Structures are given as C-alpha cells and as structure tokens.
Structure 1
C-alpha cells in the first residue's frame, strides 16, 4: 500500500480522483442523443442508432461507461415459464487489432456464450442476434470503433457495414458507435447503414472561454479541484481557477480531458507524497516536466506576462486519429 507521511492511502485517493467525471454540457447533450435513440427505437420498433464522434482524449470512453452504468446492471428475473438473465447494455471496447471475426467472438463472449475459433462469422452472427433478443438488450456500445473502421481495403469495410446492418435488422436493437471521424466516414459509405444512424453527437476539446456566460472547461477544473481538496484533506492550496493558474492548465492541455487527467494525477501525487496537506504551483510545474504534451514549454514556470503572450500564439490542433 502506497501511503503518505500522514497515512493517506495515495493509490486509493488517486483512483477515486480518476473515477470522478464532470458532466459538462457536451457530455449531457451526448447522453440526451443516446437516450433518444433508445426511446425512438422502442417507439418505432425499428433500430435508430447513434454515433459518438470526436478526437482522442475528449472523454468518449468515459461517457460510454457512464451510459452503460445508467442503463443498469445484469440481473435475473423470474418469468412465468423460466428464470431469465437480462442485460440492458452490451459494452465492447475494440482493440487496435480487431477484425470482424474477433469482434464477433468478443461480442458473443460478452453475451455469455462460449464461441470457438472454428465457428464461422455467420454462425457467430446468429448466436449474437439470438442472445441480444433473449437478454432484452436495450443498447449495444462499440467503443473505439475506428480501430476497425480505419483499417483494411474497401472490401473489408463493406463487410463491416454489412455485418452491422445484419445485426441491426435481425435484432432490432440500436447501436452506439464511438470513435474518431474515421468511424463516421465508414458508416456513411453505405446509404442503408448511414440511415440507421440518424443520431450523432460530437465531442471536441473544450475551449478556454465559451460564448455562454460560463466556461465549461473552467467548471470542470473547479469541480475536480474540489475533489482534490476533499480527498487529500488539503489545508493550503492554490486556486486552479485563478486566471494565471487556469491559463497554464488550459495551455498545457488544450481542453483535452485525457491530458487534464494526466496532469492532475501527477501533480496531486507529488503533493500527497509531500504529506503536508498542501497543493502548490510547483507541484504542477514538476509534473509538467515529465509530461511530453506540456513540458516544452512548461507553462507553470512562466510569468503572467509570458502566459498572456502564449495565449495569443495559435496552437496546433490535436491530431484526430
């Protein structure tokens, strides 16, 4: 167990901070769109699916996990003639090496089946469709869908589209595909499939200042600092929402949640190891020294004047993979 000098379990504290999610307006809108696809499918008795599109690091996977949790856990119900297992949501995170066959295997396993390598894709499709219906699944989430969508030749992508169309048509259950713009490009290749995904939510790195009266990114930073104060029992700390500190954080992360999480994790760890219940700007500067995305330049070692000048310099947009 990794503990600080004042007996705080550092590993547990950092894990709890990592699990904290702030539902900013972009997240809320994406959740609304997803819920609408489920309701529309139920009302029309025809699958109306959704997509969650955005570059890496904007919180797509975290949002998929929240949606899965909100739909409810696997449970058993007693029906008139049998005991039945209900699975409201099927969540599959696709690995980088995913193929249609391996994806079918993973989905079958997630649904409680025991597929083997000798089964054909067609046999696996039949198995998956039967279990989706029997287990009364409300939503299938395929996360990191671009791992399949962006690889292979046109023939491979056509096969992928046909695979999804068959599952949708035969099961009547909506899908949520989460991935980069490559996912949307692949889905749009087939008009029949594109029409099956009328609902599309887009997530982007949050801007430093929005047109509305409040900055969503500022709100996220403020909420996460509250958790740091609580978890670390901090008595002395810098206010991350103060202009200079917030500017440093934004310039270092460019509104990307994965980068923000890395930065807060490393800074908080340094503070906890010191064991004096404080959080300083030096904790952030030291953490930034080891993080490739914000070590050159290290904005936490800049003067206010240098920060203001850095704000005026156009930044390179995050690459969309």
Structure 2
C-alpha cells in the first residue's frame, strides 16, 4: 500500500498545523512573559510545562523556537533546546546543548570535564545572544533511581540559571510536578506551572476539530465536527498526537479514494492503519 503524491502533500500540510487552543495559548503566553523578564531584567526565572505524552509539549517548544508569535524580543536561533534521556547525566545535557552551536569539532562533556564544558557552554550562550533555554523530558530527573543523580542535575540547572541569567523552561510528564517539592531554590525560580492536559469532549474539542477542517482545502473534513466528533474523541482519547495521526491518515485515504469528503469508512480504515493489525483496541468506527 502506497499513498499518492497528492495525498502525501495534504498529509504534510496537516502535520504542520498548529492549533493554539486555550491551554496551549496560556503556556505560550507564559513563556513569552519569562523571556521578556529574563532578557531585560537578567533575572533567573522559569516555567515548567506539564503534559502527558502526545499532548503537545514538544510542539509548544518548537513553536517558541520558530517564534510563531513573532515576538520582537525573540531573535531567530535564540532558543537553545535539549531533550533529556531516560538516564540523564549532566554530560548528556551539556553535549546536547553544545551540539546546537554547530562547532566544527564539537566539544564533548565527560564526568571529568563537566566543569570545563560548563564554562564553554555558558560562554557560547552569551556569545550567541541566547534568550531562552528549554529542557524537554525533564521528568527523567525525578524518575532517576539514584538520589545523587537528581541532586547533581538540579544543582547544575540552578547554576546554569545563575551563571547565564537566562530563563529556563522545563517540560515533561506529570512526574515533573515533583519540582515543587524537590528543591526550594529551584522551585522558586521555576515558579510558573502550565499544563497541557488531554482534551475533554466539549466545545473546545469541537473547536480543535473545526480548526483542522478549515485548514484543509483539498477535501472536506467538516464531517469530523458535524458527524463524528464523539467517535474521533473515543478513537484518540483526546490526545493531540493521536488526533493528528488519525486526521492525516483519514485525509490521505479520502484523497486516494477519489472522494470529496471524509466519511466513516475512511476513518475506520485510518484507525486500523494507525493502531496496526495486532492492537487490542476496538475500532470505534465499526
């Protein structure tokens, strides 16, 4: 089974859609506030973004990186991002951040050189006029089994904020809320908490579906709102990532079938393809 070029083009268009729903907009505005405060006052401020997997936290960081709001206080390439691994270390985080500067021979941090590389990182941040540092998947710090791992990374985060004077955004799953009890010096700096919860089956859910429907011109996606909003909610569990996957697949199937609007049979096939043949999940479009 292959999709046509036209179908793939439409799928790409849908994949690039960003919907600034209420909670997404709150978090985006909150990040804009701390960037302004951090840059102009050189105060160590920050925010944490708490969201379940697939709810849009990585998309949020990407939206800030691309400056989709066109904030005058955020330059191109002025947001530094790293994603923590499941067993994070200071060396791993520093390596990820340093790689963003595209050194011809990138410096590599090891436990023995962490202190040296910290200074290299701090100087690079200053030289490149970085305005914001975002650390994704920060919940792994609190999932670490060893207490000393948590304390070392938390201390490094505080030191980075103090040395650079830059705002920091920490994003992660629900475990990230542990930050409020983990360390008073860190929690008073990372004081703003925003969440991107899974959607409820309410008016905002239909607003999100409407946003997808109005953004696509090649076919009509209006039945998502008018006829299948409840079934789509059941299929995706109110998760943005699953919703986008389902809409992309259904749109491409509709186009290659030569139909003008998405129907229940397109959604049924899209769900089957999305979850795979061996899933235990029942298809709500049966």
Counterpart residue number, 2:223: 239
Residue in structure 2 matching 1:116, options 102, 108, 113: 108
SS of equivalent to 1:241: helix
Question: Cα distance, 1:287 vs. partner?
Answer: 1.7
Tell me which residue corresponds to 1:63. 60
* Structure 1 length-normalised TM: 0.79
Q: Distance in 2 between matches of 1:296 and 1:38?
A: 43
- The alignment of Structure 1 onto Structure 2 pairs a total of residues equal to 274
TM-score in terms of structure 2 length: 0.88
Measured in 2, the distance between the counterparts of 1:11 and 1:91 equals: 29
Mapped to 2, the partners of 1:189 and 1:136 lie a distance apart of 30
Give yes or no for the alignment of 1:287 onto 2:277.
no
Tell me, in whole angstroms, the C-alpha distance in 2 between the residues paired with 1:237 and 1:140. 38
Rate the CA distance shift 1:297–1:260 in 2: closer, same or farther, 3 A: same
Secondary structure (helix, strand or coil) at the match of 1:205 reads coil
Tell whether 2:247 aligns with 1:260: no
Structure-1 separation of matches of 2:255 and 2:83: 33
1:141 is displaced (CA, Å) by 0.9
Residues 81-120 of structure 1 aligned to structure 2 (within 5 Å): 88-113=78-103, 114-116=106-108, 120=113
Q: 1:163 to 1:35 in 2, by over 3 A?
A: same
Residue 76 of structure 2 aligns with which residue?
Answer: 73
C-alpha displacement of 1:3: 5.9
Alpha-carbon separation, structure 1, partners of 2:234 and 2:281: 11
Using the TM superposition, give the Cα deviation of residue 290 of structure 1 relative to its aligned residue in structure 2, in angstroms.
Answer: 3.6
Aligned ranges for residues 140-159 of structure 1 at < 5 Å?
A: 140-159=133-152
Q: Is the 8 A contact 1:144 1:178 kept in 2?
A: yes
1:45 aligned residue: 42
- Indicate if the aligned counterparts of 2:46 and 2:191 stay in contact, CA closer than 8 A: yes
2: CA distance, partners of 1:187 / 1:166: 18
> In 2, Cα distance between the equivalents of 1:143 and 1:265?
26
Given that residues 15 and 244 in structure 2 are in contact (C-alpha distance below 8 angstroms), is that contact kept between their aligned partners in structure 1? Answer: yes
Q: Which residue of 2 aligns with 1:275?
A: 258
Identify which of structures 1 and 2 has the higher relative contact order when contacts are C-alpha pairs closer than 8 Å and 6+ apart: 2
Does the 8 Å CA contact 1:37/1:199 hold for their aligned counterparts?
Answer: no
Measured against aligned partners, the alpha-carbon deviations of 1:247-277 in whole angstroms (never above 9, x if no partner) come to 1011112211011012112212211222343
Partner of 2:211: 223
Q: Considering only aligned residues, what root-mean-square deviation do their CA atoms show, in Å?
A: 2.2
Tell me if the contact between 2:54 and 2:239 (Cα under 8 Å) persists in the aligned partners.
yes
The CA distance in 2 between the partners of 1:169 and 1:124, in whole Å, is 16
Q: Is the 8 A contact 1:238 1:281 kept in 2?
A: no
User: Could you tell me which of 191, 197, 200 is aligned with 1:204?
Assistant: 197
Q: In structure 1, what is the equivalent of residue 71 of structure 2?
A: none
Q: Who is 1:34 aligned against?
A: 31
Contact 1:270–1:287, Cα closer than 8 Å, also in 2? yes
- CA distances 1:119-171 after superposition (whole Å, capped 9, x unpaired): 61111111111111222211001112223442231110000101101101111
- Structure having the higher Rg: 1
Of 51, 55, 61, 1:54 maps to 51
**Long gaps (5+) in structure 1:** 75-87, 210-214, 302-321
Task: Write the distance in 1 (CA, Å) between the matches of 2:252 and 2:209.
Answer: 17
